[in-house]
Amino acid sequence: MTTGFIDVPHWPWLTVALAVVLLGDALLSVRPPGFIQDCLDGVRFPRDWWWTLIVIKLVAVAGLFAGLWYPGVGVAANAGVMAYFVCAAVAHVRARFLGSTFWVNCLGMLGFAVVVLILSYV
């Protein structure tokens, strides 16, 4: 039943897929492989702050999963994921770190989050 407000996702499997990918990204970031280290160093993100990215991603995962049952939560979490990757894209551009990690990882995840939001909530 729709409440007239933002509801739960129309295509829950898309939201689950985004949450699973973000969870994998967060788990990889605990002991980041070379390509993640190179990316974060390339945008000059301080190593002392790397842990914050893990927390942000885990909170987003929790919000995406909660949004499967609670109207409005999923769309807010999805918008937060989009904002995260917009900020990441800005960091890449400002640092002029525009290699494959920017095009594939950063913009790829931003595009994925945008598609999930549009197909799930519009």
Q: What is the pLDDT of residues 17-37, one digit of tens each?
A: 999 999 999 999 999 999 999
pLDDT given at position 121:
92
Residue 116 dihedral angles phi and psi, to the nearest 5°:
-60, -45
Q: Express each pLDDT in 7-20 by its tens digit.
A: 899 999 999 999 99
- The residue extents of the domains of the chain are 12-121
pLDDT digits (tens, 9 = 90+) for 53-108: 999 999 999 999 999 999 999 999 999 999 999 999 999 999 999 998 899 999 99
Longest dimension (CA), the chain: 47
Q: What's this model's pTM, rounded to 2 decimal places?
A: 0.92
Q: How far apart are CA 14 and CA 17, in angstroms?
A: 5
Task: Indicate the pLDDT class of residue 3, thresholds 50, 70 and 90.
Answer: low
> Which amino acid type is present at position 62?
A
Give the angle 95-92-114 at the CA atoms, nearest 5°: 160
